[in-house]
Amino acid sequence: MSETTYLEAIRAGLAEELARDETVLLLGEDIGSYGGAFKVTEGLLDRFGAGRVIDTPIAETAIVGAAAGAAHMGFRPVCEMQFIDFLSCAYSILTNYVATARYRADLSTPMVIRGPSGGFVRGGPFHSQNPEAAYLHTPGLKIVAPATARDAKGLIKAAIRDDDPVLYFEHKYLYRRIKETLDPAEEVLTPIGSARLAREGGDLSVVTYSAMVHKAVEAAERLEREDGLAVEVIDLRTLAPLDDAAIVASVKKTNRVLLVHEDTRTGGLAAEITARINEQCFEWLDAPVRRVCAHDVPLPYAPPLEDWVLPQTEDIVKACRWLAAY
Amino acid sequence: MGRIDVVMPQMGESIAEGTLSRWLKQVGDTVKRDEPIFEISTDKVDAEIPAPTAGVLAEVLVKEGETVPVQTVVARLETDAAAAASAPAASPPAAEAPAPASPPPPPPPPSRAAAPPPAPAPAPAAPAPAAASAVETAEERLKRRSTPLVRRMVAEHGLDLGAIPGTGMAGRVTKNDVLAFMERAPSAPAPAPAAGAPAQPAGGVAVIPGPVVEPWEGDRIESWSRIRKLTADHMIMSRRVSPHVQSLIEIDYTRIVGIRARKKAEFASRGVNLTYLAFIAKAVADNLRKHPSLNAAVMGESTIFRHEINLGIAVALDWGLIVPVIRRADELALLGMARAIQDLAGRARDKKLSPDEVQKGTFTITNPGGFGTVVGLPIINQPQAAILAVGSIEKRPAVVTLPDGTDGLGVRTLGYLSMSFDHRIVDGADADRFLADVKRTLHAYPDDAS
């Protein structure tokens, strides 16, 4: 047993799958001897060789295209985007080619695209994005976003084993801040499509994912102390396909729901979940569905502005209080 | 001297109400024109609202944490320049409350104050703007704007929304208010019940207060355990919900006695005690498919015909009663049925049942005959349609047809099956046909049963 950080958990998951299955490949910018911009792949080149841990040019379209071809030829490639913001450079091949391959040609494309997303690190507009909504709208892609070290490992392994393309959004703020005791001997696999009950409560539900899970739990603990409220927190883990059953069950239990995401508000995941709640459990709502999201602006560099734009624990606390009093 | 009204400003075109999160000035404080006097909260921004004029804060009409419609008077300022008050029109504060100039106009309703959560007062201190008071108060209007859940609950239980005190924002009725109202209902002065008639709260079901009981000397008092309380509530509910009707049928088990005697050792060698109950459960499970109304539940004004045949078996415990369920009982042969009954009853006594093993029953069998009771008249295990009681099985003299065609007396092993059924969805003929089929099955039980 050892304390494993979120980042180490991703690395351990990659290493286990590289060792387990020789068709698994890694591709990305500076992921070899440099070990990746955040050192996620550090040590893997020495262990698995340059044939399986492949440095690529700075060309995201080429990375995704090469991975798609390799996937069709029987490999299970894992692409690293140095920052997930740059996945948009490969938007066309990802949405037009990769996501449609199974539908168009009955082609299985078992590939993973992973990379650091999210803010709170003063990274500014090009290095802080949460682009899930852009891909959520593309049928044919699965999207996961772990909040814990255990799920970081369990989801990268499950994503690699999945026969369809999976986008794996890791959160750079969590890389070295989240630790958990993981048994290296245990095979951790987190099923894709299944949410996690991060905290149980009966008064209202907060549905969220990734780094916001930790802020939601922090808010829930404060609300329990200060207001005596029992706040339930659902960690979605998988964003596509959404675990409707888990969301609906929680809404039917608490009747009040707050959706939280770090991505910007308009057209975000919260809007989609709100629609599903309306469709599936409207008559169980005792208050309007609320959301706490980032403002609809590019993320500013300036620390006070970044803090203002991104959702903070205080915002969640306030919104919960409003919901509880409604 | 004159008094100037300070009103809740409109923070955006679509905003109908605002939450006053904090008073920045107290009654008696002197304020300058444009000096912030209170704070309102929106989703993302706390806005400070400036004084429309200089003066002394004379009255505070809205408490911290309260949500009121826009234009509601929240305070009054005492001004020196009485003349200035000549037109105290409730003009919104000069400073267009700093609706954040930045992109997202905070659309959702304002959040609550960070201050200690004040129980939202049911009756807002601030009167609604006089002009609107003609028809209904703001509170009444908000109350009618109830949530989907509350509307559903009110409709389901036939309640009058207006009669329920609301503790939500601006007096809105919440789920908890409805639940609290229903709990209090028996003693609440519900809309004038007919003289002498019991109060008619939820769903028109009469709540009859029990008799006043006092312990006598030497008595022992034991407060109900959870299982006892659940049982009590369920029994009352079932009696109220379903019109129970009972049918009895006599079964001649003589043939089963023979089969059981022949099979007992073989079953025992496989670790299973072959009981009469196993034969009966098997006969019931096998016949329910042909009689779907007995394997059903009532949902509102519809009947759900259950696809699965899940047999509940009532097990008496020292501390109460529990009904473990044999899922898909119709798929089991006699051996499997006997084993399932043995296993579930054993684990019920050892408290080793998992919660899902006592759920999703579709028909229940209870076995008072084990104690010698000849006929049981059980209460339906909701939301099922029927429950069958197995009476004692014993040798009795019976009229039999002798080989020569004449009638004589014989010793037969007999017992009664009694069934309570929900007459809303099961008619007498349905129940009697089902019982006749069970009887036929038991009378003609195959010798090679396994």
Query: Span B205-216, mean pLDDT?
Result: 71
Sign for the CA dihedral angle at B369, B375, B377, B382 comes to: positive
Judge whether residue B362 has pLDDT over 60: yes
pLDDT greater than 90 at residue B202: no
| A286/B150 touch (CB, cutoff 8 Å), yes or no | yes
Q: In what order do the strands lie in the sheet with A196-199?
A: A196-199, A231-235, A204-208, A257-264, A290-294
Q: Flag if B111 and A295 touch (Cβ within 8 Å).
A: no
Q: How confident is the model at residue B205 (pLDDT cuts 50, 70, 90)?
A: very low
pLDDT score for B46: 62
Q: Residue A206 to residues A119, A220, A254: CA-CA distances in angstroms? A: 20, 9, 10
Per-residue DSSP letter, A177? T
Amino acid identity of B385?
A
| Residue-level pLDDT at B107 | 39
Task: Judge whether residue B307 has pLDDT over 50.
Answer: yes
What tens digit of pLDDT does each residue of B419-437 get?
999 999 999 999 999 999 9
Cα separation of A311 and B183, whole Å?
Answer: 40
**CA distance to partner chain B, nearest, from residue A289 (Å):** 10
Are β-strands B315-317 and A290-294 bridged in parallel, bridged antiparallel, or unpaired?
unpaired
Does B423 contact A at CB distance below 8 Å? no
**Cβ–Cβ below 8 Å for A326 and B114:** no
Tokens matching residue A278: 């309306």
The closest CB to that of B148, out of A227, A282, A325, belongs to A282
Q: How confident is the model at residue B84 (pLDDT cuts 50, 70, 90)?
A: very low
Q: What is the pLDDT of residue B171?
A: 75
Q: Can you give the pLDDT at residue B358?
A: 87
CA B85, chain centre distance (Å): 57
- CA gap B408, B426 in Å, rounded: 38
CA distances A82 to A28, A58, A115, Å, are 7, 9, 6
Which residue in B108, B109, B149 is closest to A284 by CB distance?
B149
User: B residues 208-237 near A, CB within 8 Å?
Assistant: none
Range with lowest mean pLDDT among A62-66, B86-90, B252-256? B86-90
Question: In 3D, which of A132, A98, A103, A102 has the Cα closest to residue A115?
Answer: A132
B278: pLDDT strictly greater than 70: yes
Residues in chain B: 450
Tokens of B183: 């709990």
Residue B141 has pLDDT above 70, yes or no: no
Contact list, A254 vs chain B (CB under 8 Å): none
C-alpha to C-alpha distance for A292 and A233, rounded to whole angstroms: 14
Instruction: Name which of B2, B61, B53 is nearest B31 in CA terms.
Output: B53
pLDDT for res B79: 81
Q: How far is A225 from chain B (nearest CA, A)?
A: 11
Q: How much is the pLDDT for B255? A: 93
Q: Which of A127, A171, A214, A261 is catalytic?
A: A127
Please state, in angstroms and rounded to a whole number, the distance separating the CA atoms of residues A216 and B263: 62
Q: How many CB pairs under 8 A join A and B?
A: 74
Distance CA B239, CA B205 (A): 11
pLDDT for the residue numbered B96? 39
Q: Which of A34-38, B62-66, B300-304 has the highest mean pLDDT?
A: A34-38
Within 10 angstroms of residue B293's Cβ, the number of other Cβ atoms is 18
**In whole numbers, what is the pLDDT of chain B averaged over residues?**
80
Q: What is the pLDDT of residue B82?
A: 41
In angstroms, what separates the C-alpha of A243 from chain B's closest C-alpha? 22
Nearest Cβ partner of B111 from A226, A227, A318?
A318
| B111 CA: distance to closest CA in chain A (Å) | 5
Cβ distance A296 to B150 less than 8 Å, yes or no, reads no
Q: Whole-angstrom Cα distance, residue B391 to residue B394?
A: 9
Q: B170 to chain A: nearest residue by CA?
A: A326
Amino acid identity, position A16: E
Average pLDDT of the residues in B62-85: 76
How wide is the angle at C-alpha B221 spanned by C-alphas B216 and B224, nearest 5°? Answer: 145
How buried is B284 (Cβ within 10 angstroms: 0-12 exposed, 13-18 middle, 19+ buried)? buried
- The three-point CA angle B208-B209-B213 to 5° equals 140
Beta bridge partners of B327: none
H/E run at residue A9: helix A6-20
Q: At residue B361, does pLDDT exceed 70? A: yes
pLDDT at B155: 85
Q: How far is B247 from chain A (nearest CA, A)?
A: 40
Residue B437 burial (CB < 10 Å; 0-12/13-18/19+)? Answer: middle
**Helical residues (DSSP H) of A164-297, grouped into ranges:** 211-227, 244-254, 269-281
Mean pLDDT of B329-338: 94
Q: Residues of A with CB below 8 A from B148's CB?
A: 282-285
For position B14, what pLDDT does the model report? 59
B100 — pLDDT class (breaks 50, 70, 90)? very low
Tell me the mean pLDDT in the region A142-166. 98
Any chain A CB within 8 A of the CB of B166? no
Q: Does B149 touch chain A (CB under 8 A)?
A: yes
Three-class HEC string of chain B: CEEEEEECCCCCCCCCEEEEEEECCCCCCEECCCCEEEEEECCCCEEEEECCCCEEEEEECCCCCCEEECCCEEEEEEECCHHHHHCCCCCCCCCCCCCCCCCCCCCCCCCCCCCCCCCCCCCCCCCCCHHHHHCCCHHHHHHHCCCHHHHHHHHHCCCCHHHCCCCCHHHCCCHHHHHHHHHHCCCCCCCCCCCCCCCCCHHHCCCCCCCCCCCCCCCCCCCCCHHHHHHHHHHHHHHHHCCEEEEEEEEECHHHHHHHHHHHHHHHHCCCCCCHHHHHHHHHHHHHCCCHHHCEEEECCEEEECCCCCEEECEEECCEEECCEECCHHHCCHHHHHHHHHHHHHHHHCCCCCHHHHCCCCEEEECHHHHCCCCCCCCCCCCCCEEEEECCCEEEEEEEECCCCCEEEEEEEEEEEEEEEECCCCCHHHHHHHHHHHHHHHHCCCCCCC
Evaluate if residue B114 carries a pLDDT over 70.
no
> A296 and B104: CB-CB below 8 Å?
yes
Residue B427: how many CB atoms within 10 A of its CB? 13
Closest CB from B113, B117, B149 relative to A286: B149
Q: What is the C-alpha to C-alpha distance for residues B241 and B280, in angstroms, rounded to an integer?
A: 28
Q: What is the pLDDT of residue B12?
A: 62
Contacts of A290 in chain B (CB under 8 A): 43, 108
Contacts of B148 (CB under 8 A, 6+ apart): A282, A283, A284, A285
pLDDT (tens digit per residue) in B31-61: 888 888 888 875 545 677 888 888 899 889 9
pLDDT of residue B139: 58
The answer to whether B152 contacts chain A (CB < 8 Å) is yes
pLDDT at A273: 98
Q: How many CB atoms lie within 10 A of CB A295?
A: 21
pLDDT value at position B146?
83
Is any Cβ of chain B less than 8 angstroms from the Cβ of A289?
A: no
Inter-chain residue contact A321 with B172, CB threshold 8 Å: no
pLDDT tens digits, residue range A256-302?
999 999 999 999 999 999 999 999 999 999 999 999 999 999 999 99
**Residues on chain A touching B175 (C-beta within 8 angstroms):** 255, 286
Cβ(A198)–Cβ(A108) below 8 Å: no
Alpha carbon A159 to chain centroid, angstroms: 12
| Distances A181 to A2, A132, A144, B32, B331 between C-alpha atoms, Å | 5, 29, 22, 59, 45
Q: Which of A129-143, B13-27, B314-328 has the lowest mean pLDDT?
A: B13-27
Of A211, A225, A252, A98, the C-alpha closest to A163 is A98
Q: Which of A1-15, B70-84, B167-181 has the lowest mean pLDDT?
A: B70-84
Query: Exposed, middle or buried, B210 (CB in 10 Å: 0-12/13-18/19+)?
Result: exposed
pLDDT class of B113 with cuts at 50, 70, 90:
very low
Q: Which residues from B are below 8 Å from A285, CB to CB?
A: 147-149
Q: What is the mean pLDDT of chain A?
A: 96
**Chain-chain contact of A322 with B19 (C-beta, under 8 angstroms):** yes
From the list B19, B112, B175, which residue is nearest A286 (CB)?
B175
Structure tokens at B260: 């059981």
Range B95-100 average pLDDT: 40
Shortest CA distance from A287: residue in chain B: B147
Q: What are the chain A neighbours of B179 within 8 Å (beta carbons)? A: none
- Active-site positions of B? 423, 427
Task: Give the whole-angstrom CA distance, residue B433 versus residue B425.
Answer: 15
Local confidence band at B123 (pLDDT 50, 70, 90 cut-offs): very low
Residues B112, A321: C-beta atoms closer than 8 Å: yes
Beta carbons of A205 and A223 less than 8 angstroms apart: no
Instruction: Tell me how far CA of residue A217 lies from CA of A56, A233, A316, B241, in angstroms.
Output: 39, 7, 10, 42
A322 reaches B (C-beta below 8 A)? yes
Nearest chain A CA: its distance from B330 CA (Å): 29
Residues of B in contact with A321 (CB under 8 A): 111-114, 117
- Is the Cβ pair A297, B103 closer than 8 Å? yes
CB–CB of A283 and B149 under 8 A? yes
Which chain B residues are Cβ-neighbours of A291 within 8 angstroms? 108
- Residue A227 to residue B117, Cβ atoms within 8 A: yes
Distance separating alpha carbons of residues A260 and B186, to the nearest angstrom: 42
Q: Please compute the mean of the pLDDT values over residues B231-248 and round it to a whole number.
A: 92
Q: Which helix (H) or strand (E) holds A11?
A: helix A6-20
A292: which chain B residues are within 8 Å (Cβ-Cβ)? 43
Beta carbons of A318 and B109 less than 8 Å apart: no
pLDDT exceeds cutoff 50 at B199: no
Distances (CA, A) of B12 to B98, B99, B104, B177: 10, 7, 11, 31
Mutation for A interface: B22, B63, B147, most A CBs within 10 A: B147
Task: Judge whether A29 and A21 are in contact, CB under 8 Å.
Answer: no
Q: Do B111 and A283 make contact, defined as CB atoms within 8 angstroms?
A: no
Instruction: Round to whole Å and give the CA distance between A114 and A167.
Output: 6
Segment B157-184 mean pLDDT = 84
Q: Which of B40, B41, B42, B44 to mutate to test the interface with A (most CBs of A within 10 A)?
A: B44
Interface of B with A in 115-134 (CB under 8 A): 116-117, 120
DSSP A124-143: -TTSS--THHHHHTSTT-EE
CB of B103 within 8 Å of a chain A CB? The answer is: yes
pLDDT at residue B324 tops 90: yes
Residue B169 touches partner A, C-beta closer than 8 Å: yes
Whether pLDDT at B105 is above 90: no
Q: Which residues pair with A142 in a beta bridge?
A: A166
**Which tens digits make up the pLDDT trace of A69-111?**
999 999 999 999 999 999 999 999 999 999 999 999 999 999 9
Q: Which of A202-211, B174-183, B352-361 is modeled with the greatest confidence?
A: A202-211
Which pLDDT does position B118 carry in this prediction?
A: 38
- Highest-scoring range by mean pLDDT, A277-281, B4-8, B164-168: A277-281
Q: Is B403 on the interface with A (CB under 8 A)?
A: no
A65 has pLDDT over 90: yes
B172 at interface of A, judged by CB pairs closer than 8 A: yes
Candidates A224, A265, A282, A286, partner chain B, best to mutate (most B CBs within 10 A): A286
Query: Sign of torsion, CA B299 B303 B309 B312?
Result: positive
pLDDT at position B321: 84
